[in-house]
């Protein structure tokens, strides 16, 4: 079964109806039909949360995060030693954010496609 890892930008694209949102929605629909798996690290979900919190307030942010937890996206709430080390290596080599290094390390660890 194909595996996808979402970073914050993919989820934000759906919420804001930005370019690429339709592709992410298609993957979410496939996950609802149990034909693919979707994961997101909690650190990446935090990026979504604080952006919504800043823009729309706590109630809206809490509601959207609740919707994510009820969606087919499986939230990874632990940073495994393997992902920890891989994210550190990626962060040291490339000019990417810490959260992006975690999303990329998760995709490598789960042998999935990173959706950004």
What global pTM score does this model have?
Answer: 0.93
Of 36, 35, 64, 70, nearest to 52 by C-alpha is 64
Superfamily of domain 2-78: 5'-nuclease (3.40.50.1010)
Q: Burial of 92 by CB count in 10 Å (0-12 exposed, 13-18 middle, 19+ buried)?
A: exposed
Say how many Å lie between the first and final Cα of the chain, rounded: 20
- Encode pLDDT of 21-75 as tens digits: 999 999 999 999 999 999 999 999 999 999 999 999 999 999 999 999 999 999 9
Report the C-alpha gap between 14 and 27 in whole angstroms: 11
Q: State which H helix or E strand residue 107 sits in.
A: helix 98-109
Q: Where are the domains of the chain?
A: 2-78
């Amino acid at each position: 079964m194909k595996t996808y890892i979402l970073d914050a930008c993919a989820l934000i694209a759906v919420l804001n109806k930005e370019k690429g949102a339709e592709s992410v929605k298609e993957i979410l629909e496939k996950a609802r039909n149990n034909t693919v798996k979707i994961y997101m690290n909690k650190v990446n979900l935090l990026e979504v949360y604080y952006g919504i919190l800043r823009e729309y307030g706590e109630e809206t942010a809490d509601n959207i995060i609740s919707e994510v937890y009820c969606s087919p996206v499986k939230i990874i709430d632990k940073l495994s030693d393997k992902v920890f080390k891989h994210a550190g290596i990626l962060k040291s080599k490339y000019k990417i954010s810490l959260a992006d290094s975690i999303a990329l390390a998760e995709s490598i660890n789960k042998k999935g496609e990173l959706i950004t």
